[in-house]
Amino acid sequence: MEIKSTDLVSLFERSLQGLSQTSLQEVGIVTQVGDGICKVFGLNNAIYGELIQFEGGNSGIILNLDEDSVTIFLLHATIPVAELEVAKRTGNVFKTPVGMSLLGRVIDASGKPLDALGEIKVDEYRPVEARIPQIIDRSPVNESLETGIIAIDALIPVGKGQRELIIGNRNTGKSAIALDAILHQKGKNVFCIYVSIGGRQANLARTIRLLEENGSMEYTTIVSADAGEAVLNQYLAPYVACTIGEYYRDHGHDVLIVYDDLSNHAIAYREMSLLMRRAPGREAYPGDVFYLHSRLLERAGKLASGGSITALPIVQIQSDDITAYIPTNLISITDGQIFLDAKLFNRGIRPAVNIELSVSRVGSAAQTKAIRKMTKALRLELAQYHALLDFAQFGTELDEVSQKILARGAIAVEILKQPQMVTYNFVDQALILFLLKENFLEGLDIKNVRVFVTQFVSYVRSVYQDEYAAILQTEDISDEMRERLLIIAKEFNKLFIAPDMSYTE
């Protein structure tokens, strides 16, 4: 069929006649591509952070504006971009899909599902770089967010809206603590987001399976940017997760976000900065690496209007050195840190929380009364124990008081041990700590301590349901309740048969 050129032109002209110039496409030409980054000539009116579409199907974000060109980081490593390819402005910054249907889903940094569970019903799209809540919008962190881990809830309590750093060498149980905290949120109306940055896919698959097996996926969203993905995705993943968290928070929910881990995030940003030829500073990180994390973690907090975002960023260190660049940055940004000690881990003390180096700047404000009352002197006792333990290693003969402190400290360390995926609610924790505080564990063989406390908790829960429910309701152990618990503990002490004794009998 012959087409007349005049027809073609008039058809084209008609289709464009109604459009204003601003609605016409502004483009640039790719002049350089490589390492997930490309330089585009043109795009004169493009803005920083704008999403750019390439004709070949790839897309990217502008992260550098030069006089006559822009630097774009590509979102997809697998879609090729050719030299002289046309890049178009979208007029939008990078946005991520948000919605309640993201619960139970695994997505990548661009919001695409990775779990083969079909399309995600999106409520809205939000820019990943959002305005941080102002001082007037915030409320103090004074509500406890239970992690279910007795060592943390008793000594380094985390509150709703707090940023608590989990720091430690590799293989010291950092992710395990964060995952336990997620598992413990079941039935507590806290939505969880787990962000995997630069991790292994096998590890993520294991995490997903663990959450699924424990029924925790239904209140959890996983954002993944594994090590094989474009560096831009690893950079964006925590911001995407935070944006999703903000959506939940704005709907009045409490949110727990685990950033696993921000060392990889900093490394991804360092890679990007070096590719953009920005001046390298300490450890070759760019000058704005502090701002990279501070603007992310400042988005956490508790709002006066309801809803909160609690952040548990994870950072990996080398040889227990917490004075490295990124760890010190994160320590100063966050409201405390949980330091996991490789030596403790190797000695079988798990979770390997180093009490002396761990701190929660929110303190007891984020503890229930019951726990607060039971742990008043615990930190001091543990400090004395560790100090004396070092001394005792020299084989010095110790006086009776010191020996008592050592024995009590050993018991305290024993009750703070906790297997992975076993979490305690605050009543269980309060009961365990009660036994320690009221010296019911003294004289027990150290290997029987765990059995004793576990059986005691289950004894109170099953036999004295009213007392258990009262503590749960009031979140306190009053003087009368203390008296009652003393009687119960004495009663249980008589009933308790240590496992090794029962075996011999």
Q: Is 11 in the site for another protein (CB under 8 A)?
A: yes
Bond preceding residue 261 cis, omega within 30 of 0: yes
Q: Which two tokens stand for residue 72?
A: 């774009």
Helix 400-416 and helix 378-392: axis angle, to 10°?
120
Q: Is 504 in the site for another protein (CB under 8 A)?
A: no
Q: Is 41 in the site for another protein (CB under 8 A)?
A: yes
Stretch in the footprint of another protein (CB under 8 A) among 25-33, 315-323, 402-410, 474-482: 25-33
- Cα atoms found within 13 Å of the Cα of residue 483, Cβ hemisphere only: 2
Residue 24 or 401 with smaller CB distance to another protein: 24
Bond preceding residue 390 cis, omega within 30 of 0: no
Alpha-carbon gap, residue 7 to 4, rounded angstroms: 5
Alpha-carbon gap, residue 403 to 392, rounded angstroms: 9
**Cβ distance 449 to 414 under 8 Å?**
yes
Residue 43 or 61 with smaller CB distance to another protein: 43
* Cα first-last separation, the chain: 101
Stretch in the footprint of another protein (CB under 8 A) among 8-16, 289-297, 357-365, 494-502: 8-16
How many positions of this chain bind another protein (CB under 8 A)?
33
The distance between the two most distant Cα atoms of the chain, rounded to a whole number of Å, is 108
Q: Is 42 in the site for another protein (CB under 8 A)?
A: yes
308-316 and 165-168 beta bridge pairing = parallel
Residue 29 or 65 with smaller CB distance to another protein: 29
Q: Is 387 in the site for another protein (CB under 8 A)?
A: no
Out of 18, 25, 133, 308, name the contact with another protein by CB under 8 A: 25
Q: Which two tokens stand for residue 258?
A: 């685990």
SS3 label, residue 13? helix
We find the least distance from the C-beta atom of residue 346 to another protein, in angstroms, to be: 42
Q: Is 12 in the site for another protein (CB under 8 A)?
A: yes
Site residues (CB under 8 A) for another protein, limited to 44-73: 44, 55, 57, 67-68
Stretch in the footprint of another protein (CB under 8 A) among 6-14, 185-193, 219-227, 471-479: 6-14
Give the torsion through C-alpha atoms of 40, 43, 48, 50, to 10 deg: -90
Residue 89 or 174 with smaller CB distance to another protein: 89
Q: Which two tokens stand for residue 71?
A: 């630097």
Alpha-carbon gap, residue 441 to 448, rounded angstroms: 9
Residue 61 or 155 with smaller CB distance to another protein: 61
Residue 99 or 113 with smaller CB distance to another protein: 113
Amino acid at 300: A
Q: Is 116 in the site for another protein (CB under 8 A)?
A: no
Out of 30, 37, 38, 43, name the contact with another protein by CB under 8 A: 43
Stretch in the footprint of another protein (CB under 8 A) among 7-15, 191-199, 398-406, 439-447: 7-15
We find the least distance from the C-beta atom of residue 29 to another protein, in angstroms, to be: 7
Q: Is 228 in the site for another protein (CB under 8 A)?
A: no
Chain centroid to Cα 277, Å, comes to 31
Residue 86 or 407 with smaller CB distance to another protein: 86
Q: Is 78 in the site for another protein (CB under 8 A)?
A: no
Out of 27, 407, 421, 481, name the contact with another protein by CB under 8 A: 27
Residue 165 or 272 with smaller CB distance to another protein: 272
Amino acid at 475: E
Residue 112 or 206 with smaller CB distance to another protein: 112
Helix 449-463 and helix 400-416: axis angle, to 10°?
60
Q: Is 8 in the site for another protein (CB under 8 A)?
A: yes
Out of 49, 65, 77, 86, name the contact with another protein by CB under 8 A: 86
Q: Which residues contact 285 (CB under 8 A, 6 or more apart)?
A: 266, 269, 270, 273, 325, 326
Out of 49, 65, 77, 88, name the contact with another protein by CB under 8 A: 88
Alpha-carbon gap, residue 332 to 330, rounded angstroms: 5
With vertex at residue 389, the alpha carbon angle to CA 383 and CA 395, rounded to the nearest 5 degrees, is 155
Stretch in the footprint of another protein (CB under 8 A) among 13-21, 250-258, 320-328, 421-429: 13-21
**Tokens 């008039």 sit at which residue?**
10
With vertex at residue 236, the alpha carbon angle to CA 231 and CA 238, rounded to the nearest 5 degrees, is 120
Site string for another protein, 252-291 (x = CB under 8 A): -------------------------xxxx-----------
We find the least distance from the C-beta atom of residue 21 to another protein, in angstroms, to be: 6
Q: Which two tokens stand for residue 279?
A: 């001046």
**Cβ distance 169 to 320 under 8 Å?**
yes
Site residues (CB under 8 A) for another protein, limited to 453-472: none
Active-site annotation, residues: 361
**Tokens 């949110």 sit at which residue?**
255
Binding positions for another protein, rule: CB under 8 A: 3, 5-6, 8-13, 15-16, 21, 24-29, 41-44, 55, 57, 67-68, 86, 88, 112, 277-280
